[in-house]
Amino acid sequence: MATKAFILSPARLDGRRAKTLLNPGAQFPLAVQLRRREGATLGEVFAFLSGLYFRGKLTYALTFAGLDSDEPNPVRVITTSRGLLPPQYRVRVKDLEEFAAVDLSVARAAFETPLIRDAKQLKRSLPQDAAVVLLGSIATSKYVDPLTKVFGERLAFPREFVGRGDMSRGGLLLRQARAGTELEYTPIMSAVRHGARPPKLTPLR
């Protein structure tokens, strides 16, 4: 059984990359795949939309989830309207349009109800002492508050996220995954979530 779970914050669907991906005339492979019946995986779509940040989160989570081949995947991705989904969940254009239509600043129950539902289901599937690591923003309450209602002190985040921007976090996570070295986690409820910006990372080769 998995010893920890990872919850990844979603990619934004209102930027230039999203418009490019959802353009009906786009002919690059991922855009074409999205328009087909089988769709594309949520993980690869969000990695395209968010670039380095989501790719770093997903690579890190899959590296350190501690899975045996026959275990269910304890990695989940937050969505705006469907709670938590595994990164291998397949989506199509209409699914992304549904996600994009939800404004998290006003969604409230429409966002939180399915999120809390799926968080409770994830909690039931884990050992009582398993950590739940949020790879996403911990400076605002939109993800932290509903997840804390379910996991309490078990909800943690990488200590080195404090003070870093999205790109720096993505680069850090990719480095740690490549090195096989897991970051230190700290409970969100008792953590200092804001701090000085750390030194810049050296560029990845």
pLDDT of residue 105: 82
Residues with Cβ within 8 Å of 27's Cβ and at least 6 positions away in sequence, in order, are: none
Whether the pLDDT of residue 196 is over 80: the answer is no
Confidence bin at 163 (pLDDT 50/70/90): confident
Confidence bin at 189 (pLDDT 50/70/90): confident
Higher-scoring residue by pLDDT: 190, 129: 129
Whether the pLDDT of residue 56 is over 70: the answer is yes
Cβ proximity of 84 and 78 under 8 Å: yes
Lowest mean pLDDT across 54-58, 78-82, 102-106, 143-147: 102-106
Q: Name which of 117, 112, 123, 135 is nearest 74 in CA terms.
A: 123
pLDDT of residue 50: 92
Average pLDDT across the chain, whole number: 89
Mean pLDDT for 55-70 is 83
Dihedral over Cα of 161, 183, 121, 83: its sign: positive
Confidence bin at 71 (pLDDT 50/70/90): low
pLDDT of residue 200: 60
pLDDT of residue 138: 85
Higher-scoring residue by pLDDT: 36, 190: 36
Whether the pLDDT of residue 194 is over 60: the answer is no
Domain spans of the chain, in order of start: 4-187
pLDDT of residue 106: 87
Report the alpha-carbon angle 52-39-69, nearest 5: 70
Buried b or exposed e, range 83-99, using 16+ CB within 10 angstroms: bbbebebbbbbebbeeb
